[in-house]
Amino acid sequence: MRAMTQYGRPVASMRYRPAPIGARVLGVARSAFAKRGFAEAHILAHWPEIVGSGLAEFSSPEKLVFPRVSGEEAKARRQGATLVLRVDGPVAVEIRHLEPQIIDRINGYYGYSAVQRLKLVQGPLPPKPRPRYRKIRSLKPEERQALTQDLESIEEPALKQALEKLGERVIGASRKT
């Protein structure tokens, strides 16, 4: 009996492929977030959307602490948690005054009373990733001339214009001065 094939390969060999790396990373990350009280990393990823970019710049959620309840109640009730926020500098006073509004925003975002109170921890925030934009300098006359000479043989105007724009960005972004 011949083995069935799919896309030119035997089906049996497809069964033993390793799982995609993204699935493995998600599994490891999920357990790390669960230890910190985040069943999902959603609040971490969407913190600026929930509280606004002004407050998110000076605060970062650290963990969710759920109240201790008996076994059956714990399964039925995953609400009323305390959100521990790391706050940078004197903004803690402002966040303490805005606590009811922040809790309302969080609960309104999720649609149920997920957070009951905030606990503030003052300290430096983790460094924010810097944008990876490069400054594009204007081309020197000899660079522009070399670029136009390289593109002379291209007849189609739209393609020539696109390649010229690409060439300006590549040459202008290079580290050579």
7 domain-assigned? no
- In terms of domains, do 82 and 30 share one? yes
Helical segments of 15-119, H only? 21-35, 42-45, 47-51, 53-56, 71-76, 91-97, 99-110
Least confident of 98-102, 125-129, 139-143, 162-166: 125-129
Contact 85, 60 (CB under 8 A): yes
Based on DSSP, count helices (H) and strands (E) in the chain, helices before strands. 10, 5
| CATH number of the domain that residue 108 is part of | 3.30.300
Segment 130-159 mean pLDDT: 88
When pLDDT is cut at 50, 70 and 90, the band that residue 152 belongs to is very high
The total of structural domains in the chain comes to 2
- In terms of domains, do 31 and 100 share one? yes
**pLDDT tens digits, one per residue of 67-121:** 776 666 555 456 678 888 999 888 889 999 999 999 999 888 888 888 899 999 9
128 domain-assigned? no
DSSP-based three-state secondary structure for 104:
helix
- In terms of domains, do 69 and 106 share one? yes
Domain of 167 in residue numbering reads as 141-173
Count of beta carbons in the 10 Å neighbourhood of residue 62? 17
Structure tokens at 136: 């594009």
- In terms of domains, do 80 and 148 share one? no
Asked if residue 37 has pLDDT above 80, the reply is no
Q: What pLDDT score was predicted for residue 7? A: 60
For residues 139-158, one letter each, b for 16 or more C-beta atoms within 10 angstroms of the residue's C-beta and e for the rest, the string is eeeebeeebeeeeeeeeeee
- In terms of domains, do 89 and 166 share one? no
Contact 86, 116 (CB under 8 A): no
